[in-house]
Structure 1
Amino acid sequence: MDGRPVLVATECEDATADLVITELNRRRVPVLRFDPGRDFPTRATLAASVTADGWAGRLTAGERTADLANIRALYHRRPNAYLAEHDDQAERFAVQENRRGLGGVLAALPGCLYLSHPQAIARAEYKPEQLSVAARLGLTVPATLITSDPAEAKTFAAAQPTIYKPLHAGAYEVDGEPAGIWAASVDPGEITDAVSRCAHLFQAQVPKVGDVRAVVVGDRVFCALITAPAGVVDWRSEYRNLTYEPVDCPEPIRAALVAFLAHYGLNFGAFDFAVTAEGAWWFLECNPNGQWAWLEHAANLPITSAIADLLENGESQ
């Protein structure tokens, strides 16, 4: 592959990655797209040797080959996890070797810009640490309780209007069908001993009139005000009934968001805020690898171009 390529690690069907790849193709930036968890080692091969300057060698996927010492950037979008085809000891061993072999090389490419580094993404997914970092950077954070004690949860919920939200947006099914677990209001009387089965996050409910999704690419911040029907706690549960408009990010918040990414070593973050009638922005969370493509269209935000700019420049941070 001629020139310094961009590696795009993502699943087979990823419309968001498609936007970025199309833009990079338009700019004549070479791209190698693959899914580490599915393509390796059957449809992709690796030959890597360590040198004084870092890893050298090649990664081949399909008919394309990339020089590991000459990678411009790696866009870690949404690759599948490394999984065993059969539940036996040899398969489990191979899966761990693949993750630590290919994944380890991809995590240590010399001079490569990561958007973002997989290990940085993994660290930044812990919401309790996010809230602590956000508060330390001067962002306004709602009162929050993380507990497995039903009595503590009831006391917290009795003190103010309260919501429950999951600590991790993992896969969940109801009657065999995919389902989302949305943030929802919770009354003290609804809290049972089931709370003792795992950690729960309870948070003071912000008297919001809207939400802001702030997408940060490098040091560029793109914000959209999201308005949901009255009474909706989690706008993600009402995608068909939302309105969007671009809004400016207040400078103190913009500076805090850029500092937040720097703290974690990220080049991207999708931040959620609740906005009150007085114009106060309350930090809720950051998804270090969140979706953004639908928002670009709905609020006319040039996010694809910003991501392509970062990947094309390929300056390691």
Structure 2
Amino acid sequence: MILVISYPGEDHTEEVVRRLESRGRRVVPIDLSDFPSRASLRLEWAADGEPAYLVEDSRGATDLSAARAGWWRRIRPHEVAPAVADPSYRAFAASETSQAIQGVLDALPCRWVNPRAADAAAHHKTLQWTVARQVGLKVPRTLVTNCPRAARAFVDELGLGRVVVKAFLAMLEAWRETRLVTRDDLDRIELVRYAPVILQEFVPGVDLRITIVGEQVFAAEIDARRTSYPVDMRMVIGESDVRAVALPAELQAALLRLQRRLGLSYGAIDMRRTAEGEYVFFEVNPAGQWLFVERRTGLPISQAVADLLARLAGA
């Protein structure tokens, strides 16, 4: 059995699940937001025998101990029943649910894409940049700070038009594009004291989305230089030229070292190649998207993910 932690309508999940099921694999999708209000669990440790990890939702009952591979794809927060109105009780119910489910997922006798603890740690960009430097990747000059004085000094040193500001996480509730720091930003620089900000040297060039599945490296060039927003290719994918490319062998080796050091078997890496041919690392997203690359280039990334999960699950 292959356990998939995601939610209905997530197109990457559906594409991979379709491929697995077409090969006769049993796939059990679990949406964490179903707990505790729409799904139940029964976890038992008897005096003798193996533990039982039973969950039941609209699709029926499943013993999670049968899982041989797990895909930690995308999650939504637990949803507490509306009948629990008091905020403190709601927080308690969500916390207790999380403790029960997170613990049993870690107890399962299966191999994960990605291992959950490694996935959580690798989401931290401050860790990524340190490890990237250690494995031989070039990282742009970067400052993370909530000190207005330090932020202003960084921008003053590099100059307006040569510094971008970006967020740590791309949250649906508060999504922010990468953008150049402007004079108006400097006028309100004191606001930095309320939360750390990422300031990074702007690197002109061609974007690269490099998707790593196990030991397979799928690289695509995304040229947004002549689009309406060349600072952040995510904003102008439809305007950009996208094509599959080959990476230098030494760069591929460094990226695979990065994945191993972070403990990841899947990662969507963003880099930029300068006019001088230098490759600069920005970040790796342990749950990043790939369909926009696959559909434009034909790179068989979905099949590679399905193959990896099938191999981990065994016969």
Query: Do these two structures clear the TM 0.5 threshold for a shared fold by scoring above it?
Result: yes
Q: Cα distance, 1:16 vs. partner?
A: 0.9
**Secondary structure of the equivalent of 2:12?**
helix
The answer as to 2:215 corresponding to 1:219 is yes
Are the counterparts in 1 of residues 36 and 80 from structure 2 also a CA contact under 8 Å? Answer: no
1:74-223 aligned within 5 A: 74-85=70-81, 86-110=85-109, 112-160=110-158, 161-172=162-173, 180-187=175-182, 190-191=185-186, 192-208=189-205, 210-223=206-219
Consecutive unaligned residues in structure 1, runs of 5 or more:
174-179
Q: Cα distance, 1:276 vs. partner?
A: 0.8
Q: Cα distance, 1:109 vs. partner?
A: 0.8
Counterpart amino acid of residue 311 in structure 2: N
Are the counterparts in 1 of residues 35 and 78 from structure 2 also a CA contact under 8 Å? Answer: no
Q: Cα distance, 1:9 vs. partner?
A: 1.1
Q: Which moved more, 1:118-127 or 1:267-276?
A: 118-127
Residue 16 of structure 1, aligned match among 12, 17, 22: 12
In structure 1, how many angstroms separate the alpha carbons of the residues matched to 2:305 and 2:236?
A: 27
Using structure 1 for the length normalisation, give the TM-score: 0.88
In structure 1, how many angstroms separate the alpha carbons of the residues matched to 2:116 and 2:131?
A: 19
Using structure 2 for the length normalisation, give the TM-score: 0.89
Q: Which residue of 1 aligns with 2:294?
A: 296
Identify, as 1 or 2, the structure richer in strand.
1
**Secondary structure of the equivalent of 1:18?**
helix
Q: How many residue pairs are counted as aligned between the two chains?
A: 304
Consecutive unaligned residues in structure 2, runs of 5 or more:
none
**Secondary structure of the equivalent of 1:271?**
strand
CA 1:50–1:23: 2 relative to 1, 3 Å:
farther
Q: Cα distance, 1:77 vs. partner?
A: 1.2
CA 1:146–1:29: 2 relative to 1, 3 Å:
same
Q: CA offsets per residue over residues 17-71 of structure 1, 9 Å max, x none?
A: 0100100011111011120222545334333438999754433333444443331
Q: Cα distance, 1:261 vs. partner?
A: 2.0
In structure 2, how many angstroms separate the alpha carbons of the residues matched to 1:103 and 1:54?
A: 19
In structure 1, how many angstroms separate the alpha carbons of the residues matched to 2:47 and 2:262?
A: 28
**Secondary structure of the equivalent of 1:25?**
helix
CA 1:301–1:279: 2 relative to 1, 3 Å:
same
Q: Which moved more, 1:162-171 or 1:62-71?
A: 62-71
Residue 265 of structure 1, aligned match among 259, 263, 266: 263
**Secondary structure of the equivalent of 1:58?**
strand
In structure 1, how many angstroms separate the alpha carbons of the residues matched to 2:10 and 2:34?
A: 14
Identical residues among aligned pairs (%): 30
Q: Cα distance, 1:127 vs. partner?
A: 0.8
Q: Which moved more, 1:37-46 or 1:305-314?
A: 37-46
Are the counterparts in 2 of residues 157 and 188 from structure 1 also a CA contact under 8 Å? Answer: no
**Secondary structure of the equivalent of 2:107?**
coil
